[in-house]
């Protein structure tokens, strides 16, 4: 019997789950990753876990050590800052392009997406918050009409532990303010303000994650 979990994209879902655990400090540098444990936790077979670890090895998220198997690769504060700087630079450019040519209909679409996020935040539904935040930024990136830049941003944001942020009340309050600032920049058709607002959104994310990992003693 072939389980539904064995669909082709399952290894990508496993990789995303492990990536999030590594970036949020749940799996610390040097921690051994046991395939059987991961498979049991995620309710999948060994095969997609093995494929996911091959992917993560190619991303320098894990290393293969003799007699130990896969272990979490070293992760420094500068690594975190570098990843978020890259995200902020690309996202800021996309936001600036949107501000330069946004239409009233597009602005209204973004306002609706932001309201959906606000409802999810008020209800404290973490999974819904995560989806609504993703949808808001997906719309911005689509409106920028920059397929390659959007692809690079999508690749870079794989390293963002979305569930960590969605579950943080302080981040939720901060992201609401960030969205209001960004929407105001779009309404004013101000590319510079849009770029700055979007970049700060990612800078805030980096600072929160670095503090969280520091509090966990990841670099101790």
Class of domain 77-216: mainly alpha
Predicted confidence (pLDDT) per residue in 8-31, tens digit: 489 999 999 999 999 999 999 999
The C-alpha R_g of the chain, in whole angstroms, comes to: 19
Q: Give the domain ranges of the chain.
A: 4-72, 77-216
The three-state secondary structure class of 62 is strand
Predicted confidence (pLDDT) per residue in 46-57, tens digit: 999 999 999 999
**Is a pLDDT exceeding 60 seen at residue 197?**
yes
pTM, rounded to two decimals: 0.89
Domains 4-72 and 77-216 share a fold: no
CATH of span 4-72: 1.10.10.10
As a whole number, mean pLDDT of residues 118-142 equals: 94
Residue 219: predicted pLDDT: 82
Report DSSP state, residue 73.
P
**Is a pLDDT exceeding 60 seen at residue 5?**
no
**Is a pLDDT exceeding 60 seen at residue 149?**
yes
Instruction: Give me the chain's average pLDDT, please.
Output: 93
């Amino acid at each position: 019997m072939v389980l539904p979990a064995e669909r082709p994209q399952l290894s990508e879902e496993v990789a995303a789950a492990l990536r999030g655990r590594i970036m949020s400090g749940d799996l610390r540098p040097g921690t051994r990753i046991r395939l059987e444990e991961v498979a049991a936790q995620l309710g999948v077979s060994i095969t997609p876990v093995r494929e996911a670890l091959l992917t993560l090895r190619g991303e320098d998220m894990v290393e293969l050590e003799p007699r130990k198997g896969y272990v979490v690769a070293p992760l420094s504060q500068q690594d975190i800052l570098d990843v978020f700087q890259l995200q902020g630079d690309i996202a800021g450019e996309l936001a600036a392009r949107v501000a330069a040519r946004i239409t009233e209909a597009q602005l209204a679409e973004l306002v609706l997406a932001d309201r959906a996020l606000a409802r999810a935040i008020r209800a404290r539904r973490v999974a819904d918050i995560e989806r609504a935040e993703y949808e808001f930024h997906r719309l911005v990136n689509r409106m920028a009409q920059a397929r390659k830049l959007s692809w690079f941003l999508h690749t870079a944001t794989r390293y963002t532990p979305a569930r960590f942020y969605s579950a943080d009340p302080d981040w939720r309050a901060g992201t609401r303010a960030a969205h209001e600032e960004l929407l105001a920049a779009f309404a004013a058709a101000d590319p510079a303000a849009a770029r700055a607002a979007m970049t700060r959104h990612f800078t805030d994310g980096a600072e929160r994650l670095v503090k969280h990992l520091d509090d966990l003693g990841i670099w101790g």
